[in-house]
Structure 1
């Protein structure tokens, strides 16, 4: 009897430990997941971050150290705090006069280990509110999720260290995975692949061939398909002999995968717009030029390892080495990743190993293949892995760069026109429910491998955008009451391609944390929260909701400008706050606000008038 009682008590204690309850349950330790927890913690809410690997931070902790953003002031909030913490790290450790501090580029460039450390320290400031659990895997199946009506009440997680199941309950659930595993299990409709141009009229939609920064080619059909843009690893390389680990030949090496690079090196052939004016005679002349021991002379062509991967300098003589956009064969591995978004983790892990060996083989080939020019190989052999990065993984990144997984169909489906000017030189549509401003071009990597006669890889594209507003609906499902997805957001392939950068993901994560807190406090569904209340908190946390060229976060009326801008009072790129109010503008503002204020045009400033309207409208 005594032994039975002990057994029952032990069973009870194990299950109590295994079932845990928080305000917010976050699946995915990506930057978007981390900012969700941080924003909520600022409001006193508890959260748990469930990360599948042993390390938090997603891609910034795995090689993406060159931040992709066009207008830096457009995306602020917790992302800006992250860059400030990065900058402060290099300032404190090396000093403002150091090369390391200068190369951190105001906090926008950093080493992988530094990103992880900054994230870890930051989360540690909220002990008791934020719990981080690594080696916790969510398998995307409805069996691992319990719903009552349209509300998630519990998810089941695999503890990979112990090979045991754990249960997590929460008031709000967050899908912060790159793949969208949680929302899919919850039954939210999603898309994978590319829409055709006929669906939304988007530039670059469907099957497209174009020079990089150049024109679209006749082979483009713009027809949609199930193709997913390529993944790769962001490599941390160095030429510093004191911190360099040599590239080794992988066990499964297939020279044929890289052999077409040989002729590209000798001729200088690449995929950028400069190739429009390169003739066959120029390519043949370049071959002879290289044979004499010279580097390439073709416009736009790269030499050495830069021909194979794109090298961006980060502090301490290291690189963020990405896929080389100008190459037909680089570190991306198109086609083979198409199954990733909806596959299980067994398949994904197998592909991750395949991609690692492919990448190692690419570097080995560039440094050692005897059909490449001697001086080209010598130049590439200057590089190796950074010895002090990823020390538990052979100095190789631990996570695949999943550029695009599932894309959900939420309250707002973000498409190309949401990030393009309504009229020449003007803004894209301004959404009053904005959760962040952002600015990055439409950017997709290849969906197919090299094809004979094509100027570039299918699907490799870039088109410009303008600073835009991101509506709350892109992270909100239509039919699940307590779920938000700030990473696998709602949008088309082209629309998603501008939102998919870490600054924007971090901003959307911050919004998810604030929205969750508001929903909890107001006891409402996430789709029914008071948008204005959420925005007020986001502004208190330093978020930019609509971008103005002449109004910074430091301006005393920043929040007022944000409020009035989202309501149509300031449609231009500049607010011109200290200029005298014009009669035409004054009349427009009175009509828009439906308020009759006594102001004399040409005397009061725009700032003064806006403040008077703001106070009355906020009552």
Structure 2
């Protein structure tokens, strides 16, 4: 062998060693078609969708329980238009409704309060996820207490593809290796994608970057105007986290919180003045005068309650509660409050920190939250009528029985936002004109709808009557392009949870119904990539959409067409291709001249020959011909 050939051979051997050395270091290999990191709802739906396509899937969840936030207090489903997001999310909702009907009867109070399956207790969400997974157990392996640490050494790459990942078994204290053809990052933090080299964003973009409403530094009253101090400048700071508490005022199921060991009374003292003066962060504060606040204080000191219009009282002053079945509530941060269960600023490190730091913050947040409740129930600086109201409420003792009746998981509203082939912005959720849709994406993998909604980035500041970063802007039902879950730089990874978006764009994508839908699309895309021996980026979007439509997934929302309509698939296909852009399909209506001309141009078919036919008949005929 000549010296030149010898050098080339050494290069090849070194390349092979470079690729496989990390794998050799890992523990025993576990091989699956699809490897899902994160037992969140997005991860669970990814697994179910891939399993239904016949693929072997493993779900690796760090905690002892799957289900993410719906199984940890987020029982009031965040969706503005029911029917906009369907598919596996709709199956989840239907299972919830069936649970309450079967257990309590169709005319029961529990069925009424569950609101057609959109409101549920934490343990019911956990049961429903398990029920949905049960028929797929032949293909899906769910492993809990499996921790992925977001470090490059825990991902073995071959060029632009992940070969395997290293996972820490928190029970055995040993490392494990998982290999697969396609990987799915379903973590709230974007840990896998970051370790694999996908670029990402953390924090807020400035308005000068994408011209988004609500961008950057922002002070805004709830349902009110933007205030002085708003600069719309970007920064690296993220919105606050909290726990979604499951509270009840049922004495037989109520546990009053105890004072935490590391209780700090000073953290909560500002609440006292807020109560007496009726200070809150709502638009009504613009009409509140100092004289009104003085009178309010006197009224409360004499045993009354607040007289300030719009000012929440008692437990509602510190939590925003939505009723759940069996006398429970989903108790979130109070958006009208200047101090509530959110803990801004202290979570800024979470997205990029290790799990040791995250666990410390989770404990700090738990103690802060319990301390707030204890203060509001017991501190004599607060008026007795206020304390008595708050003391009616406690933790539900039949929830989280292995965790002191406290949620097991922090509400991570936003972590890393991995960069994908499409960067979703606020403008993707806003109508292009009054009464019109937002931009329509022909490569849509789901429709969705929730307001642009962010919690505070900073704690209360002296002289400010609103918290920086808190906003809520109404959006319209929008379409989500496939590129949102297609990461840059890695060819066999999908990112349905740490999706590609700006801070403001992500503030609507981050709702669990949308995450479930993106997870379903990721599972189908993973299965198709394996079947077709392609990278996920080489897939034909029509193949993905065809499978999604078979599973009753709404890709484009119409007010007059449901998933149960016999015309559903046809209208979805034709709508995404621009044949129907209005909010209603109006299939029984007559064909007008302008629409006929437009359809003829798009299809190359002479629409006039269908004279006298309904829009349904003509659309179906064109659909049959162009398919």
TM bracket (short chain): over 0.9
Aligned to 2:325: 315
Aligned to 1:555: 565
Aligned to 2:20: none
Whether 1:604 aligns to 2:613 is yes
Aligned to 2:19: none
- Give the distance between the partners of 2:559 and 2:107, measured in 1 at CA: 30
Residue 169 (structure 1) shift: 0.5
Q: Are 1:214 and 1:273, in contact at CA under 8 Å, matched by a contact in 2?
A: yes
Aligned to 2:204: 194
Whether 1:617 aligns to 2:612 is no
Q: Are 2:26 and 2:175, in contact at CA under 8 Å, matched by a contact in 1?
A: no
Q: Are 2:422 and 2:481, in contact at CA under 8 Å, matched by a contact in 1?
A: yes
Q: Are 1:178 and 1:404, in contact at CA under 8 Å, matched by a contact in 2?
A: yes
Aligned to 1:84: 94
- Match 1:407 to one of 414, 417, 421: 417
Aligned to 1:257: 267
- Give the distance between the partners of 1:151 and 1:226, measured in 2 at CA: 29
- Match 2:500 to one of 486, 490, 493: 490
What's the C-alpha RMSD, in Å, of the aligned pairs? 1.2
- Give the distance between the partners of 2:154 and 2:467, measured in 1 at CA: 39
Q: Are 1:309 and 1:322, in contact at CA under 8 Å, matched by a contact in 2?
A: yes
Partner deviation per Cα, 1:120-163 (whole Å, 9 max, x = no partner):
12111111201000000000011000010111010000000000
Partner deviation per Cα, 1:11-51 (whole Å, 9 max, x = no partner):
xxxx9994211110000000000000111111111100000
Matched ranges for 1:10-25 at <5 A:
18-25=28-35
Aligned to 2:146: 136
- Give the distance between the partners of 1:401 and 1:364, measured in 2 at CA: 21
Residue 332 (structure 1) shift: 0.1
- Give the distance between the partners of 2:551 and 2:406, measured in 1 at CA: 36
Query: CA 1:16/1:200 → structure 2, altered by over 3 Å: closer, same or farther?
Result: closer
* DSSP 3-state at the match of 2:245: coil
Whether 1:366 aligns to 2:347 is no
5+ residue gaps, structure 1: 1-14
Matched ranges for 1:223-372 at <5 A:
223-372=233-382
Whether 1:102 aligns to 2:112 is yes
Q: Are 2:450 and 2:508, in contact at CA under 8 Å, matched by a contact in 1?
A: yes
Matched ranges for 1:471-490 at <5 A:
471-490=481-500
Aligned to 1:3: none
Whether 1:542 aligns to 2:552 is yes
* DSSP 3-state at the match of 1:125: helix
- Match 1:465 to one of 472, 475, 481: 475
Q: Are 2:96 and 2:124, in contact at CA under 8 Å, matched by a contact in 1?
A: yes
- Give the distance between the partners of 1:220 and 1:275, measured in 2 at CA: 18
Residue 423 (structure 1) shift: 1.2
* DSSP 3-state at the match of 1:156: strand
- Give the distance between the partners of 2:128 and 2:348, measured in 1 at CA: 33
Q: Are 2:221 and 2:281, in contact at CA under 8 Å, matched by a contact in 1?
A: yes
Aligned to 2:509: 499
- Give the distance between the partners of 2:608 and 2:431, measured in 1 at CA: 34
Partner deviation per Cα, 1:480-535 (whole Å, 9 max, x = no partner):
11000000000000000010000000000000001111111111110110100110
Aligned to 1:184: 194
Residue 412 (structure 1) shift: 0.2
- Give the distance between the partners of 2:323 and 2:259, measured in 1 at CA: 25
Residue 478 (structure 1) shift: 2.4
Residue 433 (structure 1) shift: 0.5
Aligned to 1:586: 596
- Match 2:159 to one of 138, 146, 149: 149
Aligned to 2:13: none
Q: Are 2:43 and 2:186, in contact at CA under 8 Å, matched by a contact in 1?
A: yes
Query: CA 1:16/1:497 → structure 2, altered by over 3 Å: closer, same or farther?
Result: closer
- Give the distance between the partners of 1:17 and 1:153, measured in 2 at CA: 14
Partner deviation per Cα, 1:435-474 (whole Å, 9 max, x = no partner):
0000111000000000011121000001111100000000
- Match 1:117 to one of 112, 121, 127: 127
Residue 397 (structure 1) shift: 0.4
Residue 312 (structure 1) shift: 1.1
Residue 599 (structure 1) shift: 2.8
Q: Are 2:319 and 2:333, in contact at CA under 8 Å, matched by a contact in 1?
A: yes
Aligned residues: 604
5+ residue gaps, structure 2: 1-24
Residue 600 (structure 1) shift: 4.1
- Give the distance between the partners of 1:255 and 1:617, measured in 2 at CA: 69
Q: Are 1:478 and 1:527, in contact at CA under 8 Å, matched by a contact in 2?
A: no
Aligned to 1:7: none
Q: Are 1:51 and 1:137, in contact at CA under 8 Å, matched by a contact in 2?
A: yes
Q: Are 2:559 and 2:584, in contact at CA under 8 Å, matched by a contact in 1?
A: yes
- Give the distance between the partners of 2:28 and 2:357, measured in 1 at CA: 27
Dislocated runs of 4+, deviation >3 Å: 15-18
- Give the distance between the partners of 1:17 and 1:92, measured in 2 at CA: 46
* DSSP 3-state at the match of 1:236: strand
Aligned to 1:394: 404
- Match 1:59 to one of 54, 66, 69: 69
Aligned to 2:16: none
* DSSP 3-state at the match of 2:330: strand
* DSSP 3-state at the match of 2:136: coil
* DSSP 3-state at the match of 1:74: coil
